[in-house]
Structure 1
Amino acid sequence: MKQKIMFDLDDTLIYCNKYFHFILDQFSDEMTTWYSSAGVTRANILEKQSEIDVERIQVQGFKSEHFPQSFVDTYRYFKNITGRAGSSLEEEKLWKLGQSVYELEVEPYPLMEETLDSLARGGHELHLYTGGDSLIQHKKIAHMKLERYFQDRIYVRQHKNTAALEEILTDGRFERGNTWMIGNSVRTDVLPALQCGINAVYLKQEAEWTYNVIPIDAKPIGAFFTLNALPQIPPAINDYLYKQA
């Protein structure tokens, strides 16, 4: 039976978190150089940055500015509590460092193309649903040449939540029993899918971003699988459909 299968992009089809961790390491190194003499540790810096970043996302959504601004806000926080003199040049340096994460070249997860090819050959209709800045996300999509799989079935939203998914499903007149959401985020992929009454695959990744990790407190109406790699998806869906036939 033909299914509509919706994929998340970042850390589902392509790597994302590891690039943010790479930049965060540079940020914490710089901040430690400036503030360690005041007793501020690397752990203190990363904890405060994460807290500020998550708060900003919950209000503003996935605007590209949230990450570099969290660097500047963290810098200002420790400047104020330690009394260390700051400067606009240091703030500018941190902003540019945070912004540089969007300039790093992206790469696919292992067997991404083979997974999408398998599902397409099986007659399924593939959709892409991602959160973030539209220009940045479409740049990634073009770089990976993902239009060949998703064509015009690509949705980019600044706020990726249950309301956004519900709007896509309603506007597209998706048959929910035959629709799947596949992603690595419990917050923005799994829970919205379950709350909207569609099938869900939690593609669990190592070293997940704190923002994405929350309890799964919704009961599935249809299928719900937890998998660890893209190549596991086609056989899991096919096996489920076989059992339902």
Structure 2
Amino acid sequence: MRREQVLVFDADDTLWENNVVFERVIAQFLGWLDHPALGLPERRAVLDEIQAANAVTHGYGSGMLIRSFADCATRLRGRPVTAAETAEIAALAAVLIDHQVELVPGAADTLARLGVRHRLLLLTKGDAEEQRRKIDASGLAPYFQALEIVPEKDDAAYRRLITAYGLDPAESWMIGNSPKSDILPARRAGMNAVFIPHAHTWVLEHGEVDASDPGVLHLGALTELVDHF
């Protein structure tokens, strides 16, 4: 018998696809935002800088991205966006609100099998209403004993999670695709982690994961969890 442990799951790009949709919209926006001197890489660098700043003040999600589009257009065009441009930006980003949630392969079956022998929690960050909508649409909520939506997944958030649910960090694992939000802060809080890279992880979520860290399990797919837990 494998001993019971606490498995805490990230949501976006771990249980369902997310950033691939954002990247499609960003590509459309950068194509729309033509510039006489800056190519696509330079325009993307400006947008990434603006997003990083806006995330600190306005959090994550489609609302922050739409704001960042407007700020980027304002900066590169040297004037405020017009009402018509604001409407065009909103139309580009509409898919972020309307798109259907697409689970990663095997997500529901993996959670069902793990839930028989372990305690499962969900920890996701972003706009609470937007994340709740995605959780509801995913149909995965019944597999979890608790659902936590936080504005930021930093060291303090993990320490609060440990305290709130009486977790033993040594017997608890954070499972996700983001070094910045899932792996590194969980390890600093004393938890173990399972790193499942995603090809479309947001650039602002990148970070270096120590390959020699014995507290981090590296897997290639979510379904591989059932072979280890």
Q: Same fold (TM over 0.5)?
A: yes
1:132-151 to 2 correspondence within 5 Å? 132-151=126-145
Structure 1: stretches of 5+ with no match in the other structure = 238-245
> Is contact 1:68–1:97 with CA below 8 Å preserved after alignment?
no
Partner residue of 2:17? 15
> Is contact 2:61–2:130 with CA below 8 Å preserved after alignment?
no
Q: Structure 1 pair 57/189, CA: closer, same or farther in 2 (3 Å)?
A: same
Moved over 3 A (4+): 216-220
> Is contact 2:14–2:177 with CA below 8 Å preserved after alignment?
yes
Whole-angstrom CA distance in 2 between matches of 1:98 and 1:218: 37
- From 68, 71, 74, the counterpart of 2:66: 68
1:1-245 to 2 correspondence within 5 Å? 1-32=3-34, 35=35, 38-62=36-60, 64-80=62-78, 87-98=82-93, 100-121=95-116, 123-151=117-145, 153-216=146-209, 223-237=215-229
TM-score by length of 1: 0.86
Identical-pair percentage: 28
Structure 2: stretches of 5+ with no match in the other structure = none
Q: Structure 1 pair 169/86, CA: closer, same or farther in 2 (3 Å)?
A: closer
Partner residue of 1:241? none
> Is contact 2:8–2:120 with CA below 8 Å preserved after alignment?
yes
Question: Equivalent residue of 2:85, what SS?
Answer: helix
Whole-angstrom CA distance in 2 between matches of 1:204 and 1:67: 23
Whole-angstrom CA distance in 2 between matches of 1:136 and 1:65: 9
Q: Structure 1 pair 30/186, CA: closer, same or farther in 2 (3 Å)?
A: same
Return the offset for 1:86. Answer: 5.2
Return the offset for 1:87. Answer: 2.2
AA of the residue aligned to 2:103 = P
Whole-angstrom CA distance in 2 between matches of 1:188 and 1:43: 25
Whole-angstrom CA distance in 2 between matches of 1:132 and 1:54: 14
Work out the number of aligned pairs and report it.
Answer: 227
TM-score by length of 2: 0.91
- More helix by percentage: 1
Higher Rg:
1
Q: Structure 1 pair 105/179, CA: closer, same or farther in 2 (3 Å)?
A: same
AA of the residue aligned to 2:219 = L
